[in-house]
Amino acid sequence: MNNFIYENKTKVYFGKGGVREYLGCLLKNYSTIMLAYGGGSIKKNGIYDEIIGILNSEGKTVVEFSGIMPNPTYKKVLEGTKIARENNVEYILAVGGGSVIDCCKIVSAQAKIDEDIWENITKKKKFPTEFVPMGAVVTASGTGSEMNAGAVITNETEKIKCGLFGAQADFAFLDPMYTMSVPFEQVISGAFDTLSHAMETYFGKPSENNLSDDINEAVMRSVIKNMRVLLTERENYDARSELMWASSMAENGILKIGKITDFQAHQIEHQLGAYTDCNHGKGLAVIHPVLYRHIYKDGLEKFTRFAENVWGINDKNSDEETALAGISALESFIKEVGLPTKFSEMGIPESTDFKAIADSTNITAGCCKKLTHEEILEILKECV
Ligand code: NZQ
Ligand code: ZN
C-alpha cells in the first residue's frame, strides 16, 4: 500500500431536522455571520426562513451574500470577499449545492489576504493558509464539496475553470429532506457526478488489490441502485439519503486513500464548462463512455473488473468483450436515467471551439493512459 496521511475535519450532521437542533449551538462563538446562497431556491423551499429564524433568535448580525451562480466565477468570489471584509464577517454559512460551497471556500481565503488567490494558486502554486471559518448546509448533493477543501471556480477572463484550494467546512448539515425541491434533472445530474468521482478515483493507480477500490465498488453499486429507485419514486427518502451520503463518501478522501486519482473526464468537462457554462453532471455523462472507449485497452484488467463487479457482467468470452460490455452498460445507464450522451442534447453546438477546449485542458497522469491534447480533441469531437 502507498503511504498516506488521512484527516477530515468536517463534522457531519446527517438527517432530518439537524439544522434546527444544532446550528445555533455551532455558531455560539460568532456574532457576525455571512449567509451565502445561490439564485433563490432557498427562499422558495423554506430553508432560508428556517435558517434566518435561527440566526435572528440567536441574536446574530446577518450579512447576506446571494446570487452565487452554478459554475461560480472568480468575479463572484471577489464580490463576496468585499462583502465579508466591509462587514467584518466572522463566520461564513454556505447554504446550497457545490457552487455555493465552492464560492464560499475561496471567499473565506481571499478575505484574509490582499494578494489575488487566483494568481497565487494557478500561477505561483502558493496556497492559502488562513481562512474565515465556514460551515455548510447542503441543499443539493452530488459534488461532495462539503467534506473537502477543493473549490471549482471559473475565471471568465482567462477562460479557465479549475480546482482551487480554500477553506474546508467545520461542519456540514446533510438533510435529505432539503433535496426534495431540487429539480429532478439536477438530482440525477448530481448523482452522476458522484458516480463520476468514484470512477475517476477507481481507475487511478494502483489498480491491483487495495481496500479503497473495494469500498469504491460498493459506493458505485449503491449510487446506481439508488438512482434507479428515484426514477420511479422521486421522493424516496432512503434513496435520497444513500445518494447524499455517497456524494460525501466519494469526495471525503476515503476512496482516494493510497491512490493517485485520475479525474481526466473532470478536467475535460471543466474546460467545456469554461467555454459553454454547461451543467457539470451532464457534461460528464457525455464524456465518460467516449473517454473510456479510448483508453480501456491500456487498462484492460481494471475495465474488466469494473464490468464484472459494478455492472454484473459475467457472460462474455474475452476480457476485451467484457470491458467493452461494461462501458456499454455505463452508457445504457446514462440513457436510462435521462442524461445526455451527446453534446447536441445539451445545446452545445458543433461550432464550439473544441480545439481551444482541448488545448487548455489539464492533462492528468493518474489513469491507465496519459492523453495528449490531440486525443482530447478527438474525444470532444466524438461527443458532439
Ligand atoms: O442557485 P439556486 O437558486 O440555489 O439553485 C440551484 C442551482 O440552480 C439549485 N438548487 C440547489 N439546491 C436546491 C436547488 N433547487 C431547488 N431546491 C434545492 N434544495 O440547483 C442548481 C445547481 O446547483 P449547483 O450548486 O450549481 O449544483 P452542484 O451541487 O452540482 O454544483 C456544481 C458545481 O460544483 C463544481 C462543479 O464544477 C460546478 O461548478 N464541483 C465541485 C467539486 C468540489 N468542490 O469538490 C467537485 C465536482 O467535481 C465539481 O466540479
Ligand atoms: Zn464532479
For residues 344 and 384, is the Cβ–Cβ distance under 8 A?
yes
Residue type, 54: I
What was the pLDDT predicted at 315? Answer: 83
What was the pLDDT predicted at 303? Answer: 97
Q: List pLDDT tens digits, range 72-117.
A: 999 999 999 999 999 999 999 999 999 999 999 999 999 999 999 9
Q: CA 277, CA 28: separation in Å to the nearest integer?
A: 39
Q: List pLDDT tens digits, range 249-278.
A: 999 999 999 999 989 999 999 999 999 999
What was the pLDDT predicted at 1? Answer: 87
Q: CA 282, CA 269: separation in Å to the nearest integer?
A: 9
pTM comes to: 0.98
Q: What is the DSSP string of 8-51?
A: --PEEEESTTHHHHHHHHHTTT-SEEEEEE-SSHHHHSSHHHHH
Residue type, 340: P
Whether 324 has a pLDDT exceeding 90, the answer reads yes
Q: What is the mean pLDDT of residues 1-18?
A: 96
Ligand 1 atom closest to residue 72's alpha carbon, by position in its atom list: 39
Q: What is the mean pLDDT of residues 151-174?
A: 98
Closest to 272 measured CA to CA, from 362, 339, 176, 165: 362
What was the pLDDT predicted at 366? Answer: 85
Q: CA 343, CA 331: separation in Å to the nearest integer?
A: 14
What was the pLDDT predicted at 316? Answer: 78
Residue identifier of the C-alpha nearest atom 49 of ligand 1: 143
Q: List pLDDT tens digits, range 338-363.
A: 999 999 999 999 999 999 999 999 99
Whether 34 has a pLDDT exceeding 90, the answer reads yes
* C-alpha cell read off for 211: 481496500
Q: Find the residues whose C-beta lies inside 6 A of ligand 1.
A: 38-41, 45, 70-71, 96-100, 102, 139-140, 142-145, 148, 150-152, 178-179, 181-182, 186, 190, 193, 251, 266, 280
What was the pLDDT predicted at 277? Answer: 98
**Residue 19, phi then psi, degrees to nearest 5:** -60, -50
Q: What is the mean pLDDT of residues 114-132?
A: 96
For residues 271 and 284, is the Cβ–Cβ distance under 8 A?
no
What was the pLDDT predicted at 317? Answer: 84
Q: What is the mean pLDDT of residues 19-38?
A: 98
Q: CA 195, CA 71: separation in Å to the nearest integer?
A: 19
Q: What are the angstrom distances between the C-alpha of 39 and each of 72, 136, 202, 360?
A: 11, 17, 34, 29
Closest to 15 measured CA to CA, from 179, 146, 142, 134: 179
